[in-house]
Structure 1
Amino acid sequence: MTTTPAAGSCPQCAEPTVAIGVPHRWCPACEWNLDRDTPAVVGWKWVDQWLHGVARRLTEGQFAALVDGPLTRRSMSWARAVTLGAAVLLLAGVLAIAVFGVWLILSGQGLIVAGLGLLVLGVAFVLRPRLGRLATHLKDAREVDRASAPELFGLVDRVAAEVGAPLPHVLLIGYEFNAYTSVVGLRRRRILYLGVPLWATLAPPERVALIGHELGHFVNGDVRRGLLTAVAENTLGRLAVLFAPSPNGLRGLTGFVSYAVSSVIFRAVQAVQVVLYWTSQRDSQRAEYLADEMGARAGGSAAAVRLADHLLLRTPLDLVLQRESRAGNGMPAWRAASAATRDSHAAYLPPLRRLSRHAGVSLFASHPPGGLRAEMIERRPQYAATVTLDEEAATRIDAEFGAFPERVRQALAGGGPASERRRPRTPTH
């Protein structure tokens, strides 16, 4: 005999459904009705569903392998080898295009050929490898120095020593609900960015875990951080933009041929991107888990778990930050209001963790889903904090930010959520 599920119950497992994170009800127990929200990758629904299923199996499989296994830095892996090989081939291709363009210009075969050579050189210029520039990161951030922020630098020094990471060359504070590290330029200058909205809403132990995680990226073997490995992904991205077909060009035979050729090249580049991400992003996600563990070693496992869950509550925390900022309140009020929000949303964390295991997986995702990150820390060996930060020291660090938090408050009051502010394309927490 069959039974009819009660109102608000899952038709598959009869467990209660929720409407959290998506605009329709779904089941946290069996994920019923979540497949309505498969992320688009190539735009063909059946392909997107298949790719999402592949990404889900890879993500869950890696989690299962690491949660009870060794989690150490790997200097070389098959994913890194594939990415390095692709980077070398792409660099060689860009160099060959540039040489061909120079040859056409110098061949002396007339203005038309010379013009074609200039066009080829232009393509090579667009595809040239970029090493990043500090100026790009300074557009929406402020650099702090050791003289003006000794307490903050002292904390970074202690965390770096604990996790065995080199110190950043540049420390930035900015407008975003985010934190990240990056390496730029030929001299490979290390950058640590701390977004004031995120920093202000964290308790002192969570701030230590955050710094430990970010500095961990300098030593966790992340495939994205290498000088050569980043070239492959960036060059492919620029190729996709360069050859993206435009329906506006469909005029006459020439326009049709141009559209057809660009479409073929664009799809070929997309296919290579998928394969490359398929290999490299597993390595990047493994590095994220290792960075989380480094954060746990510095700030304690409990603080690292709270940090991971904190990021799952970004949307309600954004609303709180905007509300307090529009009321003229600064960092102390942000911290108190965010703590109250976290308490009131504690019951939502289990379904949000589960939701992230569906919505947060992709072949293109460099980070594991937030729910898996929190669970990984919980299930691995537990660490007590080795670097402590008390409330008084945390208050002194906030004072070292000077007038900058007021500028952030004004931006939040009139410029939208902190998590949506535009910034340079860099690795994120």
Structure 2
Amino acid sequence: MITTTADPAACPNCCAATVSVLEAHPWCAHCEWNLDAFDRHRRAPEFGWTWVDRWTHRLAYRLTRRQFALLAGRPLGAGGWSGAAVFTALASVALTVGVLALAVTGVWLTVAFGFPSLAVVPGVALLGLAVALRPRFGRLDPDLEVLTRDRAPELFGLVDEVAAAIGTPTPHVIGVDGDLNAYAGTVGLRRRRVLCLGLPWWGALDARERVALLGHELGHFGNGDPRRMLLTQPAFTMLSSAADLVRPVDTVAGGGLVEMVGAAIAKAFQWTLSRLLFGVHLVLLAVALRDAQRAEYRADEMAARAAGTDAATGLLDTALRHESVALAVRRETRAGHGPQRWRTAVAEARDAAAEQLPLLRQLSVRDESSLFASHPPAGLRRRMLTDGPRHDPAVVLTEERMSRIDAELSREYERFRRDLSWSG
């Protein structure tokens, strides 16, 4: 249950009463004093040391607010490269060149000295290392239920209309799964575009919000998101793979003193190298995700262009109540109800929390600020839309057409209902 309390202490900046929701540290709703406070009991640890987590939270909060200030009221077009994007691309190129150098050296050592030769041993080792560290370009999720245009013509038609309205390419693959989420991505060397709609999320949204969701997800195919670009992908995965590869594993059992000392030295070296690689990975990830957050703002703008500003902000408010949406969908599904009742229950839950929504939006800036967050806080995303130019809907989904789309997905909805019932 959400409660809002006015703290008796006044804000030292503007003398207004401080407020709190969800047992968070109080802050001033007027001037946002203390909104950057570190809520240790409400945050999952990132590094495990409280003083480090507090410092990184404050740093992430400042970076998040600074990025918002730089972007607010300005065009969010994908044109032009930010400093974070340039850094990520250069790092990815350097990592890829390094892996190629390992492969080339391995081939040279294997073939240059004839066979048999002791050089074959390090050559094969370097080749194996290059294969282990090669860039991964993703593949289709095995849990994705792939749809065809013949199977869901209304849904495919709506996706085509939204893509045309915002000027992005259409996905090669459209599918559904049972998650309370949706995503768009590219997989494989051919960079096939994939759109996944989580049935609980898709079914719980009203007509306008569904268009906004499609606008946002399809927007990732044209907003310069570094997580989906072939050039920058190695920066997100390669060093993490390297850290896992050299992480020490206990393989020596028994043996003499010499073996134990050697194993201890090797373990210490591996531990140090693994932590060093992972630390560099975290730094690179934190920089790269600054540009990913910029891409999310751009995707929100595309959602507003497709469905209108009101629909896009409504979608963000619904996402802010993610736990309530999950609870409503689960309750109604177990009662045997379908997506129409899901939407009613979600709307009722949001109406009940309408008075707390402004504070929840503010609190999201504290809760969702992280060096490793791929999305900006929901409150700032909404404010970016309301502070920018207002958009009227370019695509309108009628209730009748939405019912036809749900009818096309009736088999998938029923499968989700059975899975939820069997899960207890």
Superposed pair shares fold, TM > 0.5: yes
1:174-207 per-position Cα deviation (integer Å, ceiling 9, x unaligned): 1111111111122221111111111111110110
**1:192 equivalent in alignment to 2:210:** no
In 1, the alpha carbon distance for the partners of 2:47 and 2:249 equals 16
Q: Which amino acid aligns with 2:240?
A: G
Taking a change above 3 Å as real, the CA distance of residues 11 and 248 of structure 1, as seen in their structure-2 partners, is: farther
| Aligned match for 1:336, one of 339, 344, 357 | 344
In 2, the alpha carbon distance for the partners of 1:347 and 1:414 equals 37
Taking a change above 3 Å as real, the CA distance of residues 63 and 410 of structure 1, as seen in their structure-2 partners, is: same
Residue 256 of structure 2 is matched in structure 1 by none
**1:15 equivalent in alignment to 2:14:** no
In 1, the alpha carbon distance for the partners of 2:172 and 2:116 equals 51
In 1, the alpha carbon distance for the partners of 2:422 and 2:68 equals 41
User: Normalization by structure 1: what TM-score?
Assistant: 0.87
**1:129 equivalent in alignment to 2:135:** yes
Residue 357 of structure 1 is matched in structure 2 by 365
Q: Which runs of 5+ in 1 are unaligned?
A: 1-6, 417-429
Q: Quote the offset at 1:46 in angstroms.
A: 2.5
In 2, the alpha carbon distance for the partners of 1:213 and 1:380 equals 16
Report the identity percentage: 45
Secondary structure of residue in 2 paired with 1:273? helix
| Aligned match for 1:394, one of 398, 402, 405 | 402
Residue 228 of structure 2 is matched in structure 1 by 225
**1:273 equivalent in alignment to 2:281:** yes
| Aligned match for 1:35, one of 26, 39, 55 | 39
In 2, the alpha carbon distance for the partners of 1:28 and 1:405 equals 42
> What RMSD over aligned residues (CA atoms) do the two structures have, in Å?
2.5
Q: Quote the offset at 1:158 in angstroms.
A: 1.1
In 1, the alpha carbon distance for the partners of 2:160 and 2:43 equals 43
In 1, the alpha carbon distance for the partners of 2:217 and 2:404 equals 21
Number of matched residues?
404
Residue 155 of structure 1 is matched in structure 2 by 158
CA contact (8 A) 2:168 2:222 kept: yes
Q: Which amino acid aligns with 2:304?
A: A
Secondary structure of residue in 2 paired with 1:192? strand
Q: Which moved more, 1:228-237 or 1:42-51?
A: 42-51
CA contact (8 A) 1:28 1:354 kept: no
Q: Which amino acid aligns with 1:300?
A: G
| Aligned match for 1:292, one of 297, 300, 317 | 300
In 2, the alpha carbon distance for the partners of 1:414 and 1:235 equals 38
Taking a change above 3 Å as real, the CA distance of residues 247 and 374 of structure 1, as seen in their structure-2 partners, is: farther
Q: Which amino acid aligns with 1:313?
A: R
Secondary structure of residue in 2 paired with 1:260? helix
Secondary structure of residue in 2 paired with 1:26? coil
1:271-312 per-position Cα deviation (integer Å, ceiling 9, x unaligned): 322332333222111111011011001101011001011111
Q: Write out aligned runs for 1:418-429 (5 A).
A: none
In 2, the alpha carbon distance for the partners of 1:359 and 1:243 equals 34
CA contact (8 A) 1:26 1:32 kept: no
Q: Which runs of 5+ in 2 are unaligned?
A: 29-33, 254-258
CA contact (8 A) 2:184 2:193 kept: yes
Q: Which amino acid aligns with 2:70?
A: A
**1:63 equivalent in alignment to 2:71:** no
In 1, the alpha carbon distance for the partners of 2:115 and 2:10 equals 72
Q: Quote the offset at 1:90 in angstroms.
A: 0.9
User: Normalization by structure 2: what TM-score?
Assistant: 0.88
Residue 31 of structure 2 is matched in structure 1 by none
CA contact (8 A) 1:212 1:298 kept: yes
Q: Quote the offset at 1:60 in angstroms.
A: 0.3
Q: Quote the offset at 1:39 in angstroms.
A: 5.0
CA contact (8 A) 1:129 1:231 kept: yes
Residue 126 of structure 2 is matched in structure 1 by 120
Q: Write out aligned runs for 1:127-276 (5 A).
A: 127-134=133-140, 137=141, 139-245=142-248, 252-276=260-284
Q: Which amino acid aligns with 1:148?
A: R
Q: Quote the offset at 1:75 in angstroms.
A: 4.0
